[in-house]
Structure 1
Amino acid sequence: MSQRIFDNRLRPAVELWVAVILLGIAAVLILQPGQWSPLMPGIAVWAGLGMVLLALYRFWQGWHILQYRANLKRLPHYVLDADEIPLSRHKLFLGKGFQWTQTHSQRLVEARSPEGRVWIQPGKLYQWARAMELRYEHRPRMQWLTNLTRSSRWWNTLKPLPTVGGDPALHGVGVEDERDTWIDLGDRVAHTLVLGTTRVGKTRLAELLVTQDIRRGEIVVVFDPKGDTELLARMWAECQRAGRLDQFHIFHLGFPDISERYNPVGSFGRVTEVASRIAGQLPGSGNSATFKEFAWRFTNIVANALVALGRRPDYSAIARYVTNIEPLMMEYYAFWFEREGIENWREQVNTIAQNIDPKSLTMALKSRDFKAIAYTQFAKARDLYDPVADGLRSAFEYDKTYFDKLTASLLPLLEKLTTGKSGELLAPHYGDRNDKRPILDWMEVIRQRGVVYVGLDALSDAEVAGAVGNSMFADLTSIAGQLYKHGDNLGLPTLAGHNRAKIAIHADEFNELVGNEFIPLLNKAGGSGVQVTAYTQTASDIEAGIGEKPKAGQIQGNLNTLIMLRVKNEETAAVLTDQLAKVRIYTKTAQSAATDSSEPGSGVEFTSSNSDRITESETDILTPADLVQLPKGQAFALLDGGKLFKLRLPLAGADPLLPKDMQAIIRWVRTERLGEDS
C-alpha cells in the first residue's frame, strides 16, 4: 500500500550504487568471461550485457531521484526568444505547466516534512560560498574566487539560487509532468482575471498574451495606467513582426507630443452617456451623492444643448458652459427661434431686454445678463416649449452662488482634464489643420482591426488617469452595444466573407480603471466579440475601485478564468482556494514498542516491535500559504471548467526588433505618422 501512496524519492539514491556494482560485474563477465565466472564464455558475455542493461536502468532510477531533488531547489531555466513563442489560431499559450492533483499535494507534504527538508535544503558548502562572497566583496584580490562561485555555468554546483524567491518545490513536485499549456480561445470570451502582487510577473504574462493576440490578427487594446515603456516597446516590436505597424495606435498622457488625440465623451449611443462618464468620476457616497446627481444634471443639460446645436461635446466645452451657461443658452435659444420660424424675434428680444426693471428680478437673476433674461421671457410670453431650452432655463435661473456650490466637486475634475498638453489631447480641435496628430476613434480602430496602446501616466496624476480610463471603458461598452446590434459595418456595404474580429482588451492595474460602466462590458459584451483580461494585485483592489462590495463580487463573478501569481493576503488567495475541492493526504509515522515477557521460565525477557503507521486525513488541495510562497513568474490557474493547473511563465529572450529605448518609438511616430523630418 505504501508503495502506491508514497513516491519515496527523498532518500539516498541507492540505485546509483547498485548500478556501479552491476557495471563492475558486467565488466568482469565481458572482459574475463571464463576466468572469474563459472558460466561458459558465450553465456557469460550475454549475462554481462544483461547486467549492463540492468545497470543502465538502475542508473536511470537513481538519476531520476537526484533530478527530482534538484528540481525541488532549482527549476530548469525556461527562456523563450520572441520568435519561439508558440502561436495557434484555436488556442492561447500560457507557458509550461501541469494539472495539479492529489499526487502533487502529497509530494508537497513530504517535501515540507522534517525528513524531506534534509534533502532539499542548501548544504553547508553552499552557505559557506554565499558568506564568503559577502566577506570578500570589497577585496580585489579575492574577486576571482567570488566570480567563480557566482558563475552560472553548468559545472558550478555552488552557483546561487535564482532570485525569484518563494518555494521552488511548488513546481518541482510536478516539473517532470510539465508540458506546454494552452486554453481554448473560446474560453476567453468568458473573460480572465490575473491576480498577483507587485513585480511577480503580471506584465510578463501580459506581454505573452498580447504578443499572441497581435500575431493572430485580432483587435488589441491595452490599458496601462503606469505607462510602462517596456510594454509599449514590446507591442511596437510585435506589430512590426506581424506587419501591422500601420494599424498601431498610441495614446499616452505621458508623451502628449506623439500621442493620438482622443475625445472621451465625443462618441456615444445616447446623449446621457456624456454626463454619466463625467459625473461617474465624482464621489457618490454619503452627502456627496446629492452633489453628484446635480453635477450629472447640469452636465447633461450642456451636452444636450451642444448636440442639438450640431457640436461634438468635449471636456473643454463642458467645463466652459457649466461655469457660465449664459452664452450657450442664448446660442441655443437663437437656434430654437430660427428653427421655429419666428419672425422679428431679435427685435422683440432686444426690446424686452431694454425694458427690464432690475427691481422686478429675483435675487438669482439680478446678476444675470439682461439679454439672456429677455430670451426666457420672450419664450414664456409666446408659450413656447422645448425640453433642451427648458433645461438650460432651469440651470440659468439658479442663484449663481448656489450653482457654484452644487458644481464645486465637478469643476476641479474638469480643470484637471483640460489643463496643459493633456487637455489638448482630451479636447481635440477637429478643424485644426496644423495639428497632425490623428484622432483616435474606436469604431474606426475596430474596422481597421487596429492595435491600441493606452498609457495613462497614473504615477503623475492618478485622478486624470482614472477618469480617462473609465471614460474609455464606457466608450468601448457603448461601441460593444453597437457591434452587438449592427456589427462593425453599420452604414457600409456588406462584403462577402466578412467576419467580425475578436476584441482583446488587456487592462493592467484594473482597479484604477474599473467603474460602473465596466459591469455591462463584462456580462453582456461577449456576444460582440469582446474578451477582457484584467490584471490587478488583490481582490480588495476591485472593491476599492468600484466602491461597493456587491458590485465587486459581480465583476469577479464575470471573470471566469482565474490566473493567480504570488499574492500577499489570505483574502485574495481565498478567491482561488475557496473554489477547490479537498483531497486525502497520507502521512507515515514510525512506531516502536517493547513488552516484558509474562513467562519467567521462557528465557525471553521482552519482545519488541517496529512498524510504520499510515494515517489518512482530508485537507485542502491547495492552501493560501502556498500562493503566498509562489516564486516570481509562477502561477496557479483555474482553466478548462475549473481544473487546477500549475504554470511557469517563460523568461523573455532575445528580440532583434525590440527598440532600445523610447526615443526610437518617438522617432518612428514623428517620421511615419506626423510626417516630420528625422
Structure 2
Amino acid sequence: RALKNFEGGLLIVGTTQAGKGVMLNFIMTQAILRGDAVIFIDPKGSDRMYKAFCRACEKADRGKPLRFHPGNRSKTDGIRFDVTAVFSTGAQIATRVMSVVPGEDNVFKQFAWSCIKTFADAMIELGEKPSLKSLSQNINKGIEDLLRALILQAVKQHADTDWREQAEYFLPARRENCTDAIHELNVLVSWYENVLPTYLHTMVVGECLKIFHHSKEHYSKITATLMPIFAMLTSGPLEESLSPDPSDASDKRPIWDMESLVKCKGVLYVNLDSLSDSMIASAVGSMLLSDLTAYAGKRYNLGLNDVRISLYVDEASNVINQPLIELLNKGAEGGVYTTIAIQTVPDLAHRLGSVHAARMVLGNCNNLIALRCKDRETQDFVTETFGKTYIHNVDTTLSTHADTHLGMPSFKGGASHKRTAVREEIIPSEYLGKLPNAQFFASLGGGHLMKGRVPVIIDDEEN
C-alpha cells in the first residue's frame, strides 16, 4: 500500500548539503533490496553515492552494479549502452535524438525530426540497424546512397529488362558535367517516378525522394545545424559508448540496452560528469531518458508489468526533457516509478524556459519531500503544496472590582473568553529555511502530511 502512493512520482527539493543525497541513498537502497530494476542518473557524479550503490547491491546479493560514464576511454571498465537498440519505427529514434535539443517545437525542430526519421526508416528498410554514428554519417553524406539502394531493391523485384530505356525516355539530355554516379541515380529516380506503378510505391522511398528534390541550399542549412547535435553524441569516447560495435574485439566492455537491463533486473549507475562538460552530460542524460520512455511505452502496449523499474534523477534540472515529463505523468503505466531531486524551482524554470513550464512539471509529482530550502520561490511552492489550516486563538480576560462606598464593602469579578480562527499555512515558509540537515516535511499520496528525519545508513566497516 505504501509503494502504491509513489506511482505518481516523487519530488525531492532541498538546497546544497541539506540531505538530498542521504534521502536518495535511503530510498534507492530499499529499491535494490526489493529487487527492482534500478537506474540512477547522477549529473555531477558522486563517488560516495556509487559506493552506496555497491554496498546496497552487496547486501542484496545482486553483484556489482553496472556503471556508465560518457567520458570513459577505457575499453575494459564500465559498460557500453546502445540507446537506439529498442525501437519500433524510425520516428522513435528521431524523437530520441531531438529530445537533446532544448526549447519548444519550431519549424527547424520539425524539419530536423522529419529528416532523422527518413534516414532511420531508410536504413531499417535496407536491413541496417540505425545507430547514432551511422545516422550521423548518412545525414552528413546525403540521401543519395540510401535512395539508390532502396530503388535498386525495387528494380530487382519489379523492373522489366528494358527498364533503363523506359526511364531515360523521361530524362532530359545528359549534361556534360553530369558524372556517371549522378546520371545513374537520375535514371533510377526517373524509373521509380515515371515507370513503376504508383501502387508499388512505398512511403519510405517517397520520403527519401522529398529530401532528394528538396532545395539543396535549404537542406544544407538544416543539416549544418543538425550535425552539432550528433557531434555531441558521437564525439570522443561516446562514439563507442553510445553506438557500440559488437564486432569490435578490442573493446571488452559489455553492451547493454534498456530492454536487457530491465529484463535482468539490473542496477545501473550513470555518472554524467556534468562538472567537466555540462553540455555533453545534458545530451547523454536526455538520450537515456528518451530511451527509457520509449521502452516504457512498449511495456505498456504489451501489458508487461512484471518488473518494477525505479528511476532516480539527481539534479533533474540538468537533464529534464519532454520524455522525463512523460515518465512523471504516465510512467507508472509502464512500470516506471520516477523520483527526481532538484535544488530550487528557478533552476528548473531556467532549464525549461519559464516558471509556468517548471510548475507544470512539478504538478506531475504526486509526492513531495522538502528538505531545507533557502530561496523564497521554492519555499512558496512547498507551502502551497502543504496547504493551509485554521489556527485558533483564545483571548481570556479576568477582572475584579472592590467598592467601599457608604462603609459597605463590595467586591465584583468577571471573566470573558474570545475565540478567533485565522487561516495560515500549515508549514510557514521561514521554517523551511531553518530545517537541520536530513530533516524534512513530506506530503505523500492521499494527502498524508508528515515531519521526519532521514535515517543515515552507515556501513559497519565505517564505524
**Would you call these one fold, judging by a TM-score over 0.5?**
yes
Distance 2:255 2:170 in 1: 45
Decide which of 447, 453, 462 is 2:269's aligned counterpart: 453
- The one-letter amino acid of 2:428's match is T
Determine whether 1:373 maps to 2:186.
yes
CA separation of 1:469/1:281 partners in 2, compared to 1, >3 Å: closer, same or farther?
A: same
What corresponds to 2:113 in structure 1? 296
Decide which of 443, 448, 451 is 1:638's aligned counterpart: 443
Unaligned runs of 5+ in 1: 1-89, 91-183, 489-498, 659-678
Decide which of 357, 372, 390 is 2:175's aligned counterpart: 357
Cα offset, 1:602, TM superposition: 6.3
Distance 1:304 1:585 in 2: 67
CA separation of 1:358/1:264 partners in 2, compared to 1, >3 Å: closer, same or farther?
A: farther
Instruction: After TM superposition, list the pairs within 5 Å mapping 1:51-90 onto structure 2.
Output: none
CA separation of 1:408/1:284 partners in 2, compared to 1, >3 Å: closer, same or farther?
A: farther
Instruction: After TM superposition, list the pairs within 5 Å mapping 1:636-675 onto structure 2.
Output: 636-656=441-461
Cα offset, 1:256, TM superposition: 4.3
Count residues in correspondence: 453
Distance 1:464 1:608 in 2: 83
CA separation of 1:319/1:234 partners in 2, compared to 1, >3 Å: closer, same or farther?
A: same
What corresponds to 2:250 in structure 1? 434
Instruction: After TM superposition, list the pairs within 5 Å mapping 1:328-339 onto structure 2.
Output: 328-339=146-157
What corresponds to 1:583 in structure 2? 390
Contact map agreement 2:171 2:190 (CA 8 A) in 1? no
Distance 1:275 1:269 in 2: 12
Cα offset, 1:544, TM superposition: 3.7
Determine whether 1:518 maps to 2:324.
yes
Structure with larger RCO (C-alpha < 8 A, sep 6+): 2
Over alpha carbons, which structure has the higher Rg?
Answer: 1
What corresponds to 1:227 in structure 2? 45
CA separation of 1:645/1:310 partners in 2, compared to 1, >3 Å: closer, same or farther?
A: same
TM-score (norm 1): 0.60
CA separation of 1:337/1:624 partners in 2, compared to 1, >3 Å: closer, same or farther?
A: farther
Determine whether 1:402 maps to 2:208.
no
* SS in structure 2 at match of 1:478: helix
CA separation of 1:523/1:380 partners in 2, compared to 1, >3 Å: closer, same or farther?
A: same
Distance 1:643 1:250 in 2: 36
Instruction: After TM superposition, list the pairs within 5 Å mapping 1:102-501 onto structure 2.
Output: 184-245=2-63, 248-257=65-74, 258-285=77-104, 289-325=106-142, 326-340=144-158, 343=161, 356-357=174-175, 369-383=182-196, 385-488=201-304, 500-501=306-307
CA separation of 1:198/1:433 partners in 2, compared to 1, >3 Å: closer, same or farther?
A: same
* SS in structure 2 at match of 1:460: coil
Contact map agreement 2:166 2:195 (CA 8 A) in 1? no
Determine whether 1:556 maps to 2:358.
no
Contact map agreement 1:516 1:546 (CA 8 A) in 2? no
Distance 2:186 2:461 in 1: 68
TM-score (norm 2): 0.86
Cα offset, 1:205, TM superposition: 0.6
Contact map agreement 2:38 2:310 (CA 8 A) in 1? yes
Distance 1:342 1:312 in 2: 31
Write out per-residue CA displacement over residues 541-592 of structure 1, whole angstroms, 9 at most, x where no aligned residue.
4444444666544433331111011112233223332242313244779x99
- The one-letter amino acid of 1:188's match is F
Distance 1:239 1:351 in 2: 70
Unaligned runs of 5+ in 2: none
* SS in structure 2 at match of 1:193: strand
RMSD: 3.5
Write out per-residue CA displacement over residues 482-510 of structure 1, whole angstroms, 9 at most, x where no aligned residue.
2223255xxxxxxxxxx812111111112
Cα offset, 1:429, TM superposition: 1.2
Cα offset, 1:324, TM superposition: 1.8
Distance 2:406 2:317 in 1: 83
Contact map agreement 1:222 1:507 (CA 8 A) in 2? yes
* SS in structure 2 at match of 1:459: coil
Distance 1:655 1:255 in 2: 31
Decide which of 412, 423, 430 is 1:625's aligned counterpart: 430
* SS in structure 1 at match of 2:341: strand
